[in-house]
Structure 1
């Protein structure tokens, strides 16, 4: 709901709604169905989340097309695609950017929205660590830990399944029409229809015990055989087996995250989205949090009070309101993933009864998981924006400053 509020504010909700399986309606609707599946006999659905608007599932490519189709006219705005940042250098009043194709650019502000392997974050934290080395080596060592994201200990097998193919081999399979989460010990499977129902997006998770304490061994993303994926779910119920058997060419992704980043900004440089708070996918919140970052930061930079001279102050207001929420979502998503896999359970849930499919314990688990999800609709992101605006006005001397517009590289 938080992300949908922003899409409505930008006037993009109609176009995005046309891409969804069902046009969103502003009323409580069924979301994901929870099903216990890590046993040979047929599992059972034990809960269905009810959420505002339900689950609005979109193909990433469809959403990106809507966003790029609605960029401002090029006479007022320039977009350069297929550019990869390598590093940057900050001066007293500008930032110089270096790209992998050998080109460079100068800007008043750099917003690094360059993902989990962010070159912006790497450059920022190498620089912060180098500066700290002169007076506190322990702090410098801690800052270097944020140059790269860390592995969560979880792999995700990803694939797209043609709905027609799924139903041809398995008539009535509920994954064709219903967002599903299949629960099991140390593993879970998420599926949901996209592209107006023509395709089912499948993500099958496998967690390595204490894997989050290890370095990743091997590539972060690689194509794998169908057999490697299906072997992970031997002994699971028929509904999961038939779904996995429809996969043609899966890929395996090592899921990484960025926990507790101490700052999203440094001078005229800000981090946005996965570069700041890469998170596991267990709440479906990663892209939404990036959009919320952009919502707050974009409105701050567009304020008439913000000038080239004081823009770093505006970025600090962005950091003050977005970092606690973004970092909190990283932890919330991590904990939710453990719950899907019957790990790190709260004390009031009996683990043994849960794994024996106790309806009472499964319902307790479902309620705890739903509480984790509620943050996505319990308040709207304009609360953070209003707080950021107030903080900015309180911090700035409104009677001074320059009136030159800001040139920002986003």
Structure 2
């Protein structure tokens, strides 16, 4: 079974998706990296009100924080453990359309005139908040500062953005937006000689992540605001569930639509919940919105701490996989017993029009 993943104009395809990358090998290396880089518990951020020139006030602290793997380190780990005999990366490829053949396979058409045939197509292309806030975190030996500005029109709706998504700007331009804030903060914002300005784009909740043999994962499915720092992690969980479904020994190309529906049933509600909470947190950080305006500083701190508590749940992705695994086993068993009947996905309460095929 061949699988194609589209990501940022690169094409990754494997002849056998289930053997292209070993989850056990990658997990072991990531765990070693985390142990070496984070040998002590990671505390969460201190919450400080700084929007007055007379000085700031620390009002809460989120007691737990994430253990971080820099993006380039994660890419190196994945690339090192990819089976180069089965997994191939083609760069600078932009797909313009695809055709689903009568057999069910997909023909992908690229702008350079080339084409490729696959059993599964996975879209993963990414998107590069009156309330403002600033965060800081360490990345290896550096300190990264991020200044957020939520821009809305008079109706509380984000206006269309027609400028470049990413642009280099003088740091003074960033500092100017925080004029009148705590002097120490404004001084820190002026330290860099240049800064990158990023437009934050989101994907509004989609009714589905999958249709037949095509699905979306990561930012293509649920690009979200960065206020919980979980967008990338949600994409990894998407990939974890989807790859384990497609990598089952009993999986065939004709079973792919069923697997993608189960992936959608498990991952869409979870990722969209994280997306909604991320936006709420971002508005709260900027003391923006009715809820934040009605709360005292300690109450705002309690709300933000509570919004992150679920991150302490143990083996959350593994629990999602067990749900997906059980749903797949039940669906394939029903297909085996009655291949011509429409399938009822566990927990969905509705019948799918797709006819089961197996073998």
Question: Tell me, what secondary structure is at the counterpart of 1:192?
Answer: strand
Deviation at 1:14, TM superposition (A): 3.5
Q: Deviations over 1:222-251 (max 9, x none)?
A: 222222111101011123122211122112
Equivalent residue, structure 2, for 1:203: 146
Deviation at 1:283, TM superposition (A): 0.5
**Structure 1 stretches (4+) deviating beyond 6 angstroms?**
6-9
- Check if 1:369 corresponds to 2:312: no
Q: Does the 8 Å contact 1:7/1:13 carry over to 2? A: no
Match of 2:160 among 215, 229, 236: 215
Relative distance call for 1:272 and 1:247 in structure 2 (3 A) is: same
Deviation at 1:58, TM superposition (A): 4.0
Deviation at 1:110, TM superposition (A): 0.7
Measured in 2, the distance between the counterparts of 1:67 and 1:9 equals 7
Please show how residues 302-341 of structure 1 align to structure 2 within 5 Å: 302-341=247-286
Measured in 2, the distance between the counterparts of 1:329 and 1:237 equals 31
**Number of equivalent positions:** 313
Equivalent residue, structure 1, for 2:232: 287
Please show how residues 116-127 of structure 1 align to structure 2 within 5 Å: 116=127
Relative distance call for 1:350 and 1:338 in structure 2 (3 A) is: closer
- Check if 1:75 corresponds to 2:74: no
Calculate the TM-score normalised by the size of structure 2: 0.80
- Check if 1:104 corresponds to 2:49: no
Relative distance call for 1:199 and 1:97 in structure 2 (3 A) is: same
- Check if 1:46 corresponds to 2:59: yes
Match of 1:91 among 101, 121, 143: 101
Match of 1:32 among 45, 51, 55: 45
Question: Tell me, what secondary structure is at the counterpart of 1:89?
Answer: strand
Please show how residues 163-242 of structure 1 align to structure 2 within 5 Å: 186-195=131-140, 198-210=141-153, 212-242=157-187
Q: Does the 8 Å contact 2:26/2:78 carry over to 1? A: no
Equivalent residue, structure 2, for 1:139: none
Measured in 1, the distance between the counterparts of 2:238 and 2:269 equals 12
Q: Does the 8 Å contact 1:258/1:330 carry over to 2? A: no
Q: Deviations over 1:360-403 (max 9, x none)?
A: x2121011012222233335111211111111111113748655
Calculate the TM-score normalised by the size of structure 1: 0.70
Relative distance call for 1:375 and 1:238 in structure 2 (3 A) is: same
Q: Does the 8 Å contact 2:131/2:150 carry over to 1? A: yes
* Structure 1 vs Structure 2 CA RMSD: 2.4
Measured in 1, the distance between the counterparts of 2:43 and 2:179 equals 30
Gaps of 5+ in 2: 1-22, 340-356
Deviation at 1:320, TM superposition (A): 0.7
Measured in 2, the distance between the counterparts of 1:199 and 1:311 equals 44
Gaps of 5+ in 1: 1-5, 118-153, 155-184, 355-360, 404-410
Higher RCO, 1 vs 2 (CA within 8 Å, ≥6 residues apart): 1
Deviation at 1:188, TM superposition (A): 0.2
